[in-house]
Structure 1
Amino acid sequence: MKSSKRKICQILALVLSGVGASAAMAVPVVQGGGSSLVAPTIGAIGLSTTEIGLFGTSEGSFTYYSVGSGAGQNAFLGNQPTFLGTGVTGTVDFANSDAALNTTQITSYQAGLARTSGPLIQIPYIVTPITIPLVNAPAVTSTTTPQTTPGQAHSIALNDDDLCGIFSGNFTDWSQVTDPEKTTKYPAGAIKVVYRADSSGTSELLTRHLAAVCAASSATKPGITFVDSLTFAASFPSGVPSNFVGATGSGGVKSQLTSYLAAGTAAVAYLSPDYTNTFLAPSSSSASSQLQVASLLNAKNGLYYAPTAGNATTALSIAAPGTKNAASQPANWVPIAGASYTANANPASGYPVSGTSQILVSQCYADPAVKTAVHDFLNNHYTNSTFATVIRGNGFDTVPSSFQTAISNDFLSNASGWNLDIGNAGVCTGTITGR
């Protein structure tokens, strides 16, 4: 009898362990990476102040690798997880990039991996300004410029000539930089410039503006022509100026600036708000250093703007595609040419260096559980007010409501009826097995 009971218990234990294993297997690993700009917002499992933390693990175990926009693009487009880090294996389910994919990248994907993975979806994820943080800069004497930094009612102001002079290497000392409010030079002090040495969407958003305004600026260093690029150094074919210092990732730029701050060295850089201070990003885990930030003069309307989420949205000139044909083209969701691109590169109002950060996903996934997890995560990102609080707490804005509606109707619910939605049975079938 005891032997029979023991066998029954053993069988029950095996059955229960099998059920447990099956339940564990039902929760897939959903991995992606890219932009360091959005990394504090997307975050990690277990952090209630991040999107992944809020989403939890009941549908999928999300992992995000902060490796820069360029690496994220490469990882997703080739489904090559090694771009996310040494030793990373498995499928690349999504990527985030502050730079839009170019025409060549989209065409190559459509002609290749899309034939089995399904169409590529590229949609705006958040709205972001690109700030100009300063350390050991001249004292703020303005009484009219906007606040950008905790405990500092006003800010140092820079205009396009100042940006062109500093970032081209023509201005290497504050005594060369004109305070646009007073039309006098700032007090002397040598300037270091910290730039992104990796492939960065933050660099692309900055160089997009510099390419639009610096060709006409007498402050630009002779022989330097800025190009819209993920690689900041691409504008310097003969090498960056001697006062420039490269850093990897947004965290690397912040670390270099805090090092200069402690050493008493004056420096200028460019960063998303979540790496600067808690005035701009009140709940960011990466904004504890309280870096001083400049306000910028918008050349089109003559007003000073702080790099706030609202001022970034004001600067945007974008509209969601309104037809099936237009919506099915990834480039139409983030213009890389034409009137809209020009308007965003040098906006008529709002903070001058602003744009969107994108997410890349596939329409089809081989594992139905991954499809559900990706779909539901995006649905929360675009429609859940708690997720919106996380976004704004990091200094960003949610995409305009018209975009939220279009993204939901086209890619999440198929309310548009265009069969562009994630996991659409009419598309994800046959040889299109999904990634």
Structure 2
Amino acid sequence: MKSANIKMSVISAAVAAGLLAVAGAASAQNVTSGGATLPQLMYQDIFAHGPINGTWSYAGTGSGTGLNAFLTNNAALFGTSGTVHIVGSDSALTSAQITTYNGAYNNGASSSVANYGRLVQVPAFATPVLLPFKETGLASLNLSSEQICRIFSYDSAARNWNQISSAATASAIAVVYRVETSGTTELLSRFLSAACGSYLPAGKSFTVSNNFKTVVASALPTLTAAQDANADGIPDAWVGASGSSGVYGALAQDHRLGFLTPDRDLYTGNGSNVASINGFTPSAASIQNAIQAVTPPATAIARANPLNWVPAYSLPTAAYPIYGTTNLVLGQCYAGGVAAGTAGGAAKSFLSNLNSGAYDAYLSGHNFVKLPANWNTAIQQAFLTSGAALEIGNTSVCNAIGR
């Protein structure tokens, strides 16, 4: 598998130096994190160049494993030990996960997560999901929503490249997909579920999920033995890959189309190009506008529910349509509090820097999109304002408890 170069060229030495100056002397506190691979390069960039408190690790395991590691406090899933302090996930928490976590928390000292405090989920930033491709002689590709729906449902009208572009060969379209649970998969699935109803046969549909096989299972036709020789429910022409880096590497080969984070140098890194959708390329402004139209939770009761903190997906009519947020999951309470030199303080500072604009150069440098102002304001009010009921590290709530 190939790894992409971190695009620090877009962040000037002067900006980097300024950020380091703000950081000052970093605490030696170790912070264990991991999860989604979509933001992994950017997060590791921040951890290396600051401003950042503590010494951070980030294991790119995919969103599903990351959430599991946090909810069970199982650092072994990240290849280490100790406490899992904060994770990234493009997949939203489910109500079942929250209920299980809160039930364990309420069970007292016999629970493995007893006295950890409230679960916090907030959007970190917005992102498009790109459809990179590599096909001999095809320098550009504009796909309609219908074509995308037919490709991912293995429709007989969109199995070969010449069926979606007159400039392409008759080779089979090799869809590159994530084999592990992936938030990038979930973001794609929201588009497929919303956009494809009228393009699929009766009784067929895509499912919103972070597991690719689950996403496509109810949309695929009945596969013959020749189409699915290993009987795994996925066409043999398609290619499974692990992590964003695995998808990126797989796209170096001809006849392939995948879905991937924008944080890869797709145009020059491995020769892939990126498809437009309905004539639109990803636009930060359009993605911000779509998310801004979703009202963040405003009441105390609404804000206390982590489910309300992931902006709902809405299918746009005149903009790039595959987008969403990558999220942070952390605790309200940390053992040792959130003062300087603590893991809790480092986690809170990280969220504060994302929210305040201290990391904006990293966001734009890695092709991500800053949250619109209404969401940043709501996060500040709920989780970062001194004395707020949900404030991370609120001493009146977190007295003697924390992960």
- Alignment TM class, shorter chain as reference: 0.7 to 0.9
Which residue among 168, 188, 204 is the counterpart of 1:206?
188
Q: Distance in 1 between matches of 2:149 and 2:42?
A: 30
Q: Distance in 2 between matches of 1:233 and 1:222?
A: 20
Is contact 1:324–1:418 with CA below 8 Å preserved after alignment? no
Note the C-alpha offset of 1:203.
0.4
Residue 288 (structure 1) aligned with residue 269 (structure 2):
yes
Note the C-alpha offset of 1:56.
5.5
Is contact 1:68–1:201 with CA below 8 Å preserved after alignment? yes
Residue 163 (structure 1) aligned with residue 138 (structure 2):
no
Is contact 1:314–1:349 with CA below 8 Å preserved after alignment? no
Q: Distance in 2 between matches of 1:138 and 1:162?
A: 20
Which residue among 376, 388, 395 is the counterpart of 1:425?
395
Which residue among 319, 326, 334 is the counterpart of 1:357?
326
Give 3-state SS (helix, strand or coil) of 1:331's partner: helix
Q: Which moved more, 1:311-320 or 1:189-198?
A: 311-320
Unmatched runs of 5 consecutive residues or more in structure 2: 1-24, 106-112, 219-231
Relative CO higher for 1 or 2, CA cutoff 8 Å, sep ≥ 6?
A: 2
Q: Distance in 2 between matches of 1:232 and 1:195?
A: 7
Q: Distance in 1 between matches of 2:327 and 2:270?
A: 27
Q: Report the counterpart of residue 207 of structure 2 in structure 1.
A: 227
Give 3-state SS (helix, strand or coil) of 1:322's partner: coil
Q: Distance in 2 between matches of 1:223 and 1:82?
A: 42
Is contact 1:168–1:221 with CA below 8 Å preserved after alignment? no
Q: Which aligned pairs between 1:32-431 and structure 2 lie closer than 5 A?
A: 32-43=33-44, 50-55=45-50, 59-85=53-79, 88-113=80-105, 115-136=114-135, 139-140=138-139, 155-170=140-155, 171-177=158-164, 188-217=170-199, 220=200, 224-234=204-214, 235-236=216-217, 239-258=233-252, 260=253, 265-277=254-266, 288-289=269-270, 291-297=272-278, 304-316=279-291, 317-335=293-311, 341=312, 344-368=313-337, 369-385=342-358, 387-414=359-386, 418-430=388-400
Q: Distance in 2 between matches of 1:240 and 1:221?
A: 18
Q: In the superposition, relative to structure 1, how do residues 421 and 125 fare at CA in structure 2: closer, same or farther (>3 Å)?
A: same
CA deviation profile, 1:355-394 (whole Å, cap 9, x unmatched): 0000001000002311211111221121134x10101111
Give 3-state SS (helix, strand or coil) of 2:47's partner: helix
Residue 434 (structure 1) aligned with residue 402 (structure 2):
yes
Note the C-alpha offset of 1:138.
5.1
CA deviation profile, 1:404-427 (whole Å, cap 9, x unmatched): 12211211123xx54111110111
Identity among equivalent pairs (%):
35
Q: Which aligned pairs between 1:18-37 and structure 2 lie closer than 5 A?
A: 27-37=28-38
Cα root mean square deviation, aligned: 2.3
TM-score, normalised relative to structure 2: 0.81
Is contact 1:69–1:199 with CA below 8 Å preserved after alignment? yes
Is contact 1:208–1:228 with CA below 8 Å preserved after alignment? yes
Q: Distance in 1 between matches of 2:346 and 2:172?
A: 51
Q: Distance in 2 between matches of 1:166 and 1:138?
A: 20
Q: In the superposition, relative to structure 1, how do residues 413 and 355 fare at CA in structure 2: closer, same or farther (>3 Å)?
A: same
Give 3-state SS (helix, strand or coil) of 2:269's partner: coil
Give 3-state SS (helix, strand or coil) of 1:189's partner: coil
Q: Distance in 1 between matches of 2:287 and 2:248?
A: 21
What is the one-letter code of the residue matched to 2:260?
A: L
Is contact 1:192–1:267 with CA below 8 Å preserved after alignment? yes
Q: In the superposition, relative to structure 1, how do residues 175 and 329 fare at CA in structure 2: closer, same or farther (>3 Å)?
A: same
What is the one-letter code of the residue matched to 1:310?
A: A
